[in-house]
């Protein structure tokens, strides 16, 4: 029996603090610059999704996070990869935009005030429900 190859994974962090979500504005590539997303990146060989998320938050934002549960569904990306988003809480440091143009904390009422990248939008809807419950 043949198995289908698993597409490469990208993980995103829905970092929630005091009822707000941290959004990151893309600096590059040009076709995505200016759009807002969940911080994160590619899962490297030998890493779990959670380990990749912790590493990416440290690299991109200069923070340490504790990874919670999955939020939303798998999101296919334009490059053939699949994104999975996990909730996360900051356990050390203050977020800084190391690889992004800007960072912004958004309340539930402000979630749709920024132009989210299309792949992130379905998960933003799920996070919106999560924020309403907390």
**Domain extent listing, the chain:** 9-133
Mean pLDDT of 18-32: 93
The yes-or-no verdict on residue 73 having pLDDT over 70 is yes
The reported pTM is 0.90
pLDDT for residue 7: 66
Strand ranges in the chain using DSSP code E only, listed in sequence order: 9-17, 20-26, 36-37, 40-42, 64-76, 82-92, 100-107
Q: Name the superfamily (CATH) of residues 9-133.
A: Nucleoside Triphosphate Pyrophosphohydrolase (3.90.79.10)
Q: Is the pLDDT of residue 96 over 90?
A: yes
Give the whole-number percent of the chain exceeding pLDDT 70: 93
* CA pseudo-torsion sign 39, 115, 123, 68: positive
- For residue 114, what pLDDT band results from cuts at 50, 70 and 90? very high
């Amino acid at each position: 029996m043949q198995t289908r190859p698993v597409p490469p994974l990208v993980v995103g962090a829905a970092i929630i603090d005091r009822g707000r979500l941290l959004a990151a504005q893309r600096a590059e590539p040009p076709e995505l610059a200016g759009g807002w997303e969940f911080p994160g990146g590619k899962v490297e060989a030998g890493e779990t999704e959670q380990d990749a998320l912790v590493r990416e938050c440290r690299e991109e934002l200069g923070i340490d996070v504790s990874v919670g549960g999955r939020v939303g569904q798998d999101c296919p990306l334009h490059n053939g990869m699949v994104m999975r988003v996990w909730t996360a809480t900051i356990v050390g440091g203050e977020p800084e935009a190391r690889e992004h143009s800007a960072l912004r904390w958004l309340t539930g009422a402000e979630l749709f005030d920024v132009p989210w990248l299309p792949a992130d939008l379905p998960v933003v809807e799920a996070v919106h429900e999560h924020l309403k419950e907390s």
